[in-house]
Amino acid sequence: MGTTEPLKTRPLSHPFIEIMDTTLRDGEQTSGVSFLPHEKLMIARMLLNDINVDRLEVASARVSDGERDAVRMVCHYAESVGMLQRIEVLGFVDGHLSLDWINDCGARRINLLAKGSLRHCTTQLGKKPDEHIDDILRSIDYAEHLGIDVNIYLEDWSSGMNDSPEYIYHLMDRLVGTPIKRFMLPDTLGITNPLQVIDFFRKMCRRYPDIHFDFHAHNDYDLAVSNSLAAVLCGARGLHVTVNGLGERCGNAPLASVQAILKDQFQAITSIKENKLNDISRLVEEYSGIAVAPNQPIVGENVFTQVAGVHADGDNKDNLYCNSLVPERFGRSREYALGKTSGRANIELNLQKLGLELTPEQMAKVTKRITELGDRKEIVTQEDLPYIVNDVLKHTTPEEKVKLISYMVTSTYGLKPIASIKVEINGNQYAAESTGDGQYDAFVKALRKIYKTSLNRTFPILANYAVTIPPGGRTDALVQTVITWRNGDKIIRTRGLDADQTEAAIKATLRMLNIFEESQEMEDRR
C-alpha cells in the first residue's frame, strides 16, 4: 500500500450519511435465501416506512420472471406512496437489456455494475479499459433517453486500488461530468481493513472532491462495520447495509450495527428509525430462514440480557453496567438471566417484574434451586420463576386454568399427521381435531381451532421454537424445548422437558396457555 500519510479525516460536524439497504438484492445472495414476491414487498414496505432507509436496492435485473413480478409490485407500491425514487435495481453494462427490463418494471433508477479493477475488465470482460468505458457511456445515454437515473458500482474497487489505481483514475476521469448521481465503491471480496479504507477513500475524495461516494462493505474478515466507519471518516456520503448482515459468503455490513456505530461513535445523522430495527430483523429472519445469532449486536436475543449477578446488582444501584446501547432505544427491554451465575440480584429483579416479594430465607432457597438447575444446563425463564417459587416454598401449586385431558397424535408415511385433543379451559371441556405438517403442528392447530370456534378468542403466535438434545446419542435422553410466543406486544417464553420431543413441546405450550389465561383474567379485572 506504500507509505501512509498522517490521517486527516473530515471535521466532526455531524454529517448526514445516506443509508442504502440491499437486503433484497445482495442479501438474497446468501446461500439458501430466496424471497417470494410478496415477502419482498412486505420487507420493502417496512424498510421504507418503519425504518426510513434513504434508498432500497431491490433486485438484479434479468434474473427471473418471479424477480420481475417482485420488482413491479415494489415499484407500484413505492409510487403509490411517493417513494419511487428510493427504489434502485442493479443492472449490467449489456446494451439495452437491463435498462429495458428495469423500465418495464416501473423502476426509475439503475445501479450500473461496471468493473472497478483492471483485472476484472480485461480478464472477465476481455476488453480494453476504453472499450469498457465506451460501453458504460452508451448505457448512460440510453438511461437518460428512458428517464432513468444512474448510479454506478465500481465492482472489485478495493482490489483495483491495490493493484491498478491508474485504471480507476482513468475510468473516473472519463465518467466525471456524466449524469451519474453516485459512484459506489465496493469491497467486493471483503479484503480490506480500516487503514486501507482510510487510505483509499482519502485518495478518491482528494482527487474527486465533489463526487458523492458510497461504500459497500463485505464481512469476510469481520470488518464490514469498522470499514464502513472508516469510509465515513474519510468522505463517504453513503453506506450500503443489509438487515441482519445477510449477503454472499460472510455477508454484508448489518444495518443495526452500522446505525448504532454511526450515531454513537461518530455522531453522524441518518434517517433511520432505531426503535423499529428489532422488528425488521425478526421479519427478515422469518422470511429468510436464517436465524439471528443470540449474541448479534443490537438484534440478538441475548444482547440486552445480563447474566452475572454482580451486573444486575450494579444496574439496580445506578445502572453501572449500562452503556449507550439502551434496549428501549431499539424497541426492546433489558432482561436478567436466571441460571447458576445469576445470583440473588438477578432473581430479585425478575421477582420485582412479577410483583413477588420474598423474605431473605425464602430468597436463599429459590437462589439455590435456580443454581442447581443451571448446573444441569437447564434453561430457566422468567415465566418459570413462579413455579420454582411455589415448588421450593411448598406452596399450593397455582390452579391450572388450562388442563390437557387427553390427546392422540398419529403419523403415517405419506399422510399428514393428525391430532385429536380434549382440553379443559376455565372449567369447561372442549375437543377438536386437526391435521398439520408435523405432530406438534397438528396439536397446535387443534388448540387454535378450539380458541377460534369455541371461545371466539385469539391465540398467541409462535415466534420461535428451540430444541436442545444432550450429546451422547442416547435415544431416551430428556429433550428440552423452549418456545417463544407473541401476544400483541407481550412475549411469553416457556420450557418443556421430556424424553419425547412432541411431549416436551406440548408441556411448554400448556404452560404458556396458563400464563396467557392468567394475564387475560388480570386484564378483565381491570
Name the residues annotated as catalytic.
25, 155
Nine cell digits for residue 503: 411431549
Measured CA to CA in angstroms, residue 377 lies from 3, 342, 371, 372, 374 at distances of 53, 13, 10, 9, 5
d(C-alpha 306, C-alpha 322), whole Å: 10
Question: Residue 380: which of 335, 337, 334, 336 has the closest Cα?
Answer: 337
Handedness of CA 271, 272, 273, 274 (dihedral sign): negative
Unique residue bearing C-alpha cell 437515473: 149
Largest CA distance in the chain: 84
Nine cell digits for residue 31: 446461500
Q: What is the DSSP string of 170-201?
A: HHHHHHTTSS---EEEE-TT----HHHHHHHH
d(C-alpha 199, C-alpha 202), whole Å: 5
d(C-alpha 308, C-alpha 315), whole Å: 11
* 196-201 long-range Cβ contacts below 8 angstroms, 24+ apart: 196/1, 196/158, 196/161, 196/162, 197/158, 197/227, 197/230, 197/231, 197/234, 198/7, 198/9, 198/230, 198/233, 198/234, 199/1, 199/4, 200/157, 200/158, 200/161, 201/230, 201/231, 201/234, 201/235, 201/236
- Give the CA angle between residues 210, 213, 214 to the nearest 5°: 160
